[in-house]
């Protein structure tokens, strides 16, 4: 069962050690990026997620001085790895490669990383029973002339009754959102630009390993950890970046790659203040609660995917694509469901709630064969605070405004700043890191 169902195709251009998406080639004046650039300025990158790491990777390849400031103790952002829980490694964050016609697909081929097409089947929890098919088609959120209303409201308009509520929540949750907040129109509009491919893949090892080995290892010596940026002064030619301990870092150019949740919460004070148009754009880009709970069992009683639970709308067999086969079921929890589980206050309470739902579906087999659980709550991570960005009702061109550089000094990257339909993805974050380096270098040579 695909976690996303997007289409289209694009090509990649490899130039030397750089992997370049062709969609960005027109943004770069010929010769600017790939000829020798003698830039003596200092670039600071805020955030060591996929976008920040790849921006650093490109800057290093051009011999440009840079530094990455990371709020946490580890790099990766919404990528993380768990070992020892099962007899295979687990991705705590990003897990599926959504299409391989992108930078990462090229990198996977080059590095001979093992991936598996995810063709796992699904069952639906519908009217208190597991079924293989629904009475009605729920793929109603694609097409022409769609209204700018929520998934929830549109589903009701189209005659899907309350019995479809959590199936619709699954569709919205796949986009990181509640059905009550995700826009039918803007979600469909942004997906039209998707060019990565229609298939979903899982890693035999982990997504984190790919980024670690092929990108992060080249720039890890440039990362300063436990550095929480809370003030950026760009009032003069030299930018001053302050952390919470009032340590000051100086830069000529700055690339900000923090999650949109951090920008929306005004955790970073800008001096002078950012234009109102930009802060309004931040506020219009959605980012809801999200968590992943891994449940390990002695017996594989569950189906490969279960859709439509009222506690968790999406369960998935985590052993799919792995060389080993411990019985691990992932609860992929988004939006209001993640908020509810978070409100329970403890990992034990979260686990018990999920086991209760699975017991209802499988006649008590969950509790009977339960061994262990791991809860990864991205909502309570102070430097993430949610899942990934999504398209809200009334969003307009918020992403384009949010991504615009400021005074040829400050540049914005990260999955929420992707303008080509690849938001919510690791490849989308990487594309923006690359895009902003192009923009920065073009500004330098103009």
Better pLDDT: 33 or 402: 402
Query: Would the pLDDT of 19 be above 80?
Result: no
The pLDDT, as a whole number, for residue 1 is: 32
Question: Is residue 53 in a domain?
Answer: yes
Query: Would the pLDDT of 15 be above 60?
Result: no
Averaged pLDDT, 331-353:
98
The pTM score is: 0.93
Cα dihedral 261→265→267→268 (10° resolution):
80
Among 287, 291, 328, CA closest to 312: 291
Query: Would the pLDDT of 18 be above 60?
Result: no
The pLDDT, as a whole number, for residue 38 is: 85
Query: Would the pLDDT of 11 be above 60?
Result: no
Query: Would the pLDDT of 29 be above 60?
Result: no
The pLDDT, as a whole number, for residue 445 is: 84
Question: Is residue 46 in a domain?
Answer: yes
Query: Would the pLDDT of 340 be above 90?
Result: yes
Tell me the pLDDT of the chain averaged across its residues.
92
Question: Is residue 329 in a domain?
Answer: no
Question: Is residue 192 in a domain?
Answer: no
Question: Is residue 429 in a domain?
Answer: yes
- Domain residues for the domain of 54 are 12-77+206-286+389-445
| Distances from the Cα of 7 to the Cα of 10, 38, 191, 231, 371, angstroms | 10, 40, 9, 41, 39
The pLDDT, as a whole number, for residue 324 is: 87
| pLDDT interval class at 444 (50, 70, 90) | very high
Averaged pLDDT, 383-389:
97
Query: Would the pLDDT of 22 be above 90?
Result: no
Question: Is residue 124 in a domain?
Answer: no
Query: 400: domain CATH number?
Result: 3.50.50.60
Averaged pLDDT, 71-82:
98
HSE-CB for 322 with a 13 A CA cutoff: 19
Looking at the 3D structure of the chain, how many domains does it have?
A: 1
Query: Would the pLDDT of 30 be above 50?
Result: no
Question: Is residue 89 in a domain?
Answer: no
Task: Go through 166-201 and write b for each residue having 16 or more CB atoms within 10 A of its CB, e for each that does not.
Answer: bbbbbbbbbbbbbbebbbbbbbeebbeebbbbebbb
Question: Is residue 157 in a domain?
Answer: no
Per residue in 98-146, pLDDT tens? Answer: 999 999 999 999 999 999 999 999 999 999 999 999 999 999 999 999 9
Q: Which residues, in sequence order, are CB contacts of 32 under 8 Å at separation 6+?
A: 438, 441, 442, 445
The answer to whether 285 touches 399, Cβ cutoff 8 Å, is yes
| pLDDT interval class at 37 (50, 70, 90) | confident
Three-state DSSP state, 374 = strand
Q: What whole-number distance in Å separates Cα of residue 263 and Cα of residue 384?
A: 11
Query: Would the pLDDT of 434 be above 90?
Result: yes
Q: What whole-number distance in Å separates Cα of residue 230 and Cα of residue 68?
A: 15
The pLDDT, as a whole number, for residue 35 is: 60
Per residue in 209-254, pLDDT tens? Answer: 999 999 999 999 999 999 999 999 999 999 999 999 999 999 999 9
Per residue in 399-433, pLDDT tens? Answer: 999 999 999 999 999 999 999 999 999 999 999 99
Query: Would the pLDDT of 28 be above 50?
Result: no
Q: How many CB atoms lie within 10 A of CB 271?
A: 12
Q: What whole-number distance in Å separates Cα of residue 53 and Cα of residue 414?
A: 11
């Amino acid at each position: 069962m695909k976690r996303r169902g997007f289409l289209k195709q694009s090509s990649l251009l490899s130039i030397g050690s750089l992997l370049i998406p062709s969609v960005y080639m027109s943004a770069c004046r010929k010769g600017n990026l790939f000829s020798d650039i003698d830039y003596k300025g200092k670039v600071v990158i805020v955030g060591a997620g996929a976008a920040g790491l790849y921006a650093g990777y490109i800057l290093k390849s051009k011999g440009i001085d840079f530094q990455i400031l990371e709020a946490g103790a580890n790099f990766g952002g919404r990528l993380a790895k768990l070992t020892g829980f099962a007899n295979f490694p687990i991705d705590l964050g990003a897990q599926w490669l959504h299409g391989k016609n992108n930078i990462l697909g090229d990198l996977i081929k080059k590095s001979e990383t093992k991936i598996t097409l995810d063709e796992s089947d699904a069952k639906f929890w519908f009217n208190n029973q597991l079924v293989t098919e629904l009475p009605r088609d729920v793929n109603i959120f694609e097409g022409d002339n769609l209204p700018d209303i929520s998934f929830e409201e549109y589903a009701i308009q189209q005659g899907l009754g309350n019995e479809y509520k959590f199936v619709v929540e699954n569709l919205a949750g796949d986009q990181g959102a509640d059905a009550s907040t995700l826009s039918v129109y803007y979600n469909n509009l942004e997906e039209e630009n998707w060019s990565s491919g229609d298939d979903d893949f899982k890693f035999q090892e982990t997504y984190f390993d790919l980024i670690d080995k092929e990108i992060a290892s080249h720039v890890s010596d440039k990362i300063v950890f436990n550095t929480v940026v809370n003030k950026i002064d760009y009032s003069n030619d030299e930018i001053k970046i302050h952390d919470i301990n009032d340590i000051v870092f100086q830069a000529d150019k700055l690339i900000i790659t923090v999650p949109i949740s951090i920008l929306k919460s005004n955790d970073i004070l800008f001096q002078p203040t950012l234009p109102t148009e930009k802060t309004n754009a931040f506020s219009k880009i959605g980012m809801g609660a999200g968590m992943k709970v891994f449940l390990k069992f002695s017996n594989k009683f569950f189906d490969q995917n279960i859709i439509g639970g009222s506690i968790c709308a999406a369960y998935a067999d985590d052993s799919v694509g792995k060389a080993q086969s411990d019985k691990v079921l992932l609860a992929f929890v988004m939006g209001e469901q993640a908020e509810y589980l978070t409100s329970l206050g403890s990992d034990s309470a979260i686990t018990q709630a999920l086991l209760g739902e699975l017991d209802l579906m499988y006649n008590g087999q969950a509790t009977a064969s339960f061994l262990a659980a791991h809860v990864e709550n991205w909502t309570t991570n102070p430097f993430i605070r949610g899942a990934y960005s999504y398209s809200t009702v009334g969003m307009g061109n918020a992403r384009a405004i949010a991504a615009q550089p400021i005074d040829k000094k400050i540049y914005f990257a990260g999955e929420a700043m992707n303008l080509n339909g690849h938001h919510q993805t690791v490849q989308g974050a990487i594309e923006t890191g690359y895009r902003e380096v192009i923009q920065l270098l073009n500004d330098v040579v103009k």
